[in-house]
Chain A
Amino acid sequence: MTEQKYLTVKKWYWVWQFEEEEQWLNKMAADGWVLNRVGYATYHFERCAPGEYTVRLEMLRDWPNSAAGQDFIHQKQAEGAEYVGSMVRWVYFRKKGEFELMPDAAARLQHMDRLMPMLWAVLALLGVNWLNMLSLVVRFDGAVSVGLGTLLVLTVLLVLFAGGVRQLNELKTNYRYELQYGEPPARRTIRKWIWVWQFEEEDLWLNRMAADGWVLEQVAFCKYVFRRCAPGEYSVRLQLMENLADRSYIDFVESTGAEYIGRMAKWIYFRKPTAEGPFELFSDLDSRIRQLDKITAMLVGAGTLALVAAVGNVCCWLMLRSAPNGQVALLCLVGTALTVYCRKRILQKRQALEAERALHE
């Protein structure tokens, strides 16, 4: 096989995830792929020596092609950074070796002040629309299907953006702390939604955080608390566990030098100091395949439940012509579709492992 020179990855990051985006881009650079063009939710990479480049991004006050934006870009270029491209008001730079766009907490705080108003504006807009829709639905006694549907979508967006604003506020508090005390706080919280099929990405992300000096300390629903550690001090692993009442597995893993961090639903998290050697929970293909099968089984269970609920509600809706039943049925169907999609993603992973298993143990 010839060596691949270019790589395109489709990936979506919300505005409040810019830190994570930067971490990911630098992980790619460390793996030998440096960003060379950005598009809408698309990242184009080219081959580089692993760890050769540092990639940084920032949101400008002005548009990148305005005079002020161009000034900023030229100034950075004069300082030796390579301009990669822009996406809306975000600019991307890369440079060989270590490099920062925002060297200190003060600069990062200013950056936050640029970011926040935009998000607050979106949040306010969503809020007004939400109230508007709510009053409409209430006035028409919930019988307006379209209204209820829109209300639902708006609610989801509202929760999402409120989460984002909250996330950025936490980040801002951290920077303020750093500005005042000269070092980042001992703990920080990141709120993040992760789909079931993304457990590998979650694992990578938690380890990128650990490599950056933040080790997972607590997990809760959509919430990750990190503690400051030496960069690369820990490896973190997670897995699905069917029988949560059974402590013996956790005890067993702990007896091998790992530390149990906690659990979120059926997922359990461990960490182990990297000094004590590499840390994996599964070392052969069979146990990895088995792990995927457990996830599939869980998804099939949830999907069946959602489908049964959907059928029940469709029947009610048809017989009683009751709009709320129609709404619930729609929701359940969306849920079913989601589990089917999850299952497909997991099966793809399983097939890749099985192809490998046909040759290797």
Chain B
Amino acid sequence: MAEALALTEAVFYILLALLKPMHGYGIMQTVEKMSGGRVRLAAGTLYGALSSLCSKGWIEELPGEGGSRKKEYCITPAGLQAAQTELRRLQELAANGAALLGEE
């Protein structure tokens, strides 16, 4: 279906962050750190992305310990596959870019 389409930067980074189970704020911090402070996910954007990813089955909510309001999420095998497909796409982009724009 839409598998050939590119993932957004936010989604790709969320999938990477969720290789380890994490709650929302953890994702924001991890992504910011991973990108050297470049990508700052805003709460509303992240919340929307998490619910879309959950309904798509690329990530899942972990059964929380009782009382905790912070939900933890983790990547699913389908999500892992989507991330790997995206990685190949990005590698292709980067390789072509490097070949044609040349190393400076």
Contact = CB atoms under 8 A, between A and B. Distances in A.
Which residue among B40, B42, B44 has the maximum number of chain A CB atoms within 10 Å of its CB? B44
A204 to B, nearest CB: 17
A309 to B, nearest CB: 34
A290 B44 CA distance: 11
B63 interface: no
Contacts of A282: 42, 44-45
Nearest to B47: A252
Given A249-B47, A253-B43, A361 B24 contact: no
A258 interface: yes
B48 A290 contact: yes
A12 to B, nearest CB: 31
Nearest to A288: B45
A249 B40 CA distance: 18
A34 B28 CA distance: 38
State which size class the interface on A falls in: 20 to 34
B4 to A, nearest CB: 17
Contacts of A280: 40, 42
Contact of B40 (A239, A252, A283): A283
A182 interface: no
Interface string B24-54: 1100100000000000111111011000000
A258 B24 CA distance: 13
A223 B40 CA distance: 32
B61 to A, nearest CB: 11
B8 interface: yes
Contact of B42 (A249, A255, A283): A283
B2 to A, nearest CB: 14
A255 B40 contact: no
B48 to A, nearest CB: 6
A266 to B, nearest CB: 14
Contact of A251 (B10, B41, B45, B69): B69
B65 interface: no
A256 B29 CA distance: 9
B9 A361 contact: yes
B88 to A, nearest CB: 19
A287 B25 contact: no
A284 B40 contact: no
A312 interface: no
Interface residues on B, range: 10 to 19
B70 interface: yes
A290 B10 CA distance: 16
Contact of A284 (B10, B69, B70, B71): B10
Contacts of A281: 42-45
Interface string A345-361: 00000000000000001
A248 to B, nearest CB: 8
Contacts of B42: 280-283, 287
Interface string A314-355: 000000000000000000000000000000000000000000
A257 interface: yes
A278 interface: yes
B45 A253 contact: no
Given A283-B10, A284-B8, A361-B8, A256 B48 contact: no
B89 interface: no
A286 interface: yes
A287 B48 contact: yes
A352 to B, nearest CB: 19
A253 B8 CA distance: 21
A286 B52 CA distance: 13
A256 B40 contact: no
Contacts of A255: 23-25, 69-70
A252 B43 contact: yes
A72 to B, nearest CB: 48
Contacts of A283: 10, 40-42, 45
A252 B10 contact: no
Contacts of B43: 252-253, 256, 258, 281
6 contacts: A249-B47, A252-B24, A255-B23, A255-B70, A283-B10, A361-B8
Given A287-B45, A287-B48, 10 more contacts: A239-B44, A255-B25, A256-B25, A258-B43, A281-B42, A282-B42, A282-B45, A283-B45, A284-B10, A287-B44
